[in-house]
Amino acid sequence: MPQRAGEHASSGDRTVLDTREEFRQGLKEIVGPSFGISAWALVTGVAMIKSGLSVPLAVLMSLIVYAGSAQLAALPLIAAGAPLWVIWATAFCMNLRFVIFSAHWRKYFGHLPRAQRLALTFFAADLNYVLFLKRYPEPTPAPGQIPYFLGSVAWSWLSWEIPSLLGIALADRVPTDWGLGFAGVLALLGLAYSALVGRNSWIASGVAAAAAVAAFHLPLKLNVVVAIAVGVTVGMVLDRHWPDNAEARR
Amino acid sequence: MSSTQALVCILGMAVITVITRGFFLLSEREWPLPAWLTRGLRYAPLAALAAIIAPEVLLTDGALVDSWLDPRLLAVAAGTAYFWWQRGILGTIVIGTAVMLAAKLGLGW
């Protein structure tokens, strides 16, 4: 933050100001993209009831699982009475991307006490991750990061939970054949586009997409695992033999 | 599935959320990843997103879409065009969803 000329505020006041500023910034940057998440949440709320969960269980799932793609993948399995380990393995594969995100979160939150860092990352969804890394590309703790993060996750949590609870309450009245859940896919698509840097990341994600489709019939959503492995391998091979210097342009 | 089973299932899924989102923050010490893996992992978030998105767009009940006249393909095309024009995620969602609804409700695809 550049110090403005003639500023007399004490450093304590500045910190408070920057904290509020960063909180607001985190909030502001997520408002737009969160609309897709809200449409997705509404559909997930409806889907929980339609797959036979009682209202209290659906509310509990919305509040404590808080992972849309894993919930949507698990619901048909719950409805079909699949064994628990199958449902959990499926949820784990859908959430595998968060494991990778967490390697990055470690760089920013690693110095905090364990309970605190796990509480923070519980709320860290896809949108929060991509926006945070855009705002703070330097992988090291810095002032303002936590307030920015809190602003970001506060808004995305509300923009998920409110429509999700609404979907639970109005399950019989929300039209499911409109395909509104696809707004969530479009949100992820926009996220992916904004994270593309350099030719090799295009090729690696294209191959990963093809692998996910080709391996779709694998059980437990293992196609996601296959796609990540293939994408990373292709990216690494390309970097070795046909570097695009994307790292330098970051 | 009984309510007790469903409750256990949901509690387990909550644990999975905590563990996956905080995976590399569980340990007190940072696990040293080899440099080549760190470099390779920069492709992982994108690969994972692509792996979630592609089947949602290209498959219907596990089979490839058999017609170009699919509201989802049209929505993705419109959203993609918007993104590379304006670079906004919100616009991508709004335009894509609007086109999809227009195709579904207006044209009856």
A74-78, A149-153, A224-228, B55-59, range with greatest mean pLDDT: A149-153
Task: Please check whether residue A231 is in contact with residue A204, taking contact to mean a CB–CB distance below 8 angstroms.
Answer: yes
With a cut of 80, say whether residue A3 has pLDDT above it: no
DSSP secondary structure string, A68-106? HHHHHHHHHHHHTT--HHHHHHHHHHHTHHHHHHHHHHH
Name the phi and psi angles at A2, rounded to 5.
-70, 135
Query: Following CA atoms A61, B97, B93, A40 in sequence, which dihedral angle do they give, to the nearest 10 degrees?
Result: 0
Residue from the list A88, A96, A102 with its beta carbon closest to the beta carbon of B22: A102
Q: Is the pLDDT of residue A174 over 90?
A: no
Interchain pair A204, B80: CB under 8 A: no
Question: CA triplet A11, A13, A19: central angle to 5 degrees?
Answer: 100
For residue B104, report the phi and psi dihedrals to the nearest 5 degrees: -75, -50
pLDDT digits (tens, 9 = 90+) for B11-67: 999 999 999 999 999 998 888 778 888 888 888 888 988 998 999 999 988 888 888
Which tokens belong to A189?
A: 């698509």
**Which amino acid appears at position A109 of this protein?**
F
Whether this prediction's pTM lies above 0.90 is answered by no
- Inter-chain touch A84–B8, beta carbons under 8 Å: yes
Tell me if A191 sits within 8 A of B92, measured CB to CB: no
Say yes or no to pLDDT of A157 above 90.
Answer: yes
Q: Name the band, by pLDDT with cuts 50, 70 and 90, for residue A247.
A: low
Contact status of B25 with chain A (Cβ, < 8 Å): yes
Model confidence over A14-46: pLDDT tens digits? 666 688 999 999 999 999 888 888 988 988 999
- Mean pLDDT over each residue of chain A, to the nearest integer: 88
Going by C-alpha positions, the residue among A127, A44, A149, A95 that lies closest to residue B15 is A95
The alpha carbon of B102 is separated from its chain's Cα centroid by a whole number of angstroms, namely 23
Contact B88 A208 (CB under 8 A): no
pLDDT surpasses 80 at A250: no
Interval A58-69: pLDDT, tens: 999 999 999 998
B68 CA to chain A: closest CA distance, Å?
A: 17
**Cβ contact A204–B40 (<8 Å):** no
| pLDDT reported for residue A188 | 86
Residue A11 predicted with pLDDT over 80: no
ipTM for the predicted complex: 0.89
Of A102, A186, A200, the CB nearest to B21: A102
For an interface test with B, the pick among A189, A200, A222, A247 (most B C-beta atoms closer than 10 Å) comes out as A189
Q: What is the pLDDT of residue A8?
A: 45
Supply A136's token pair.
């703070």
Tell me, what's the pLDDT at B72? Answer: 92
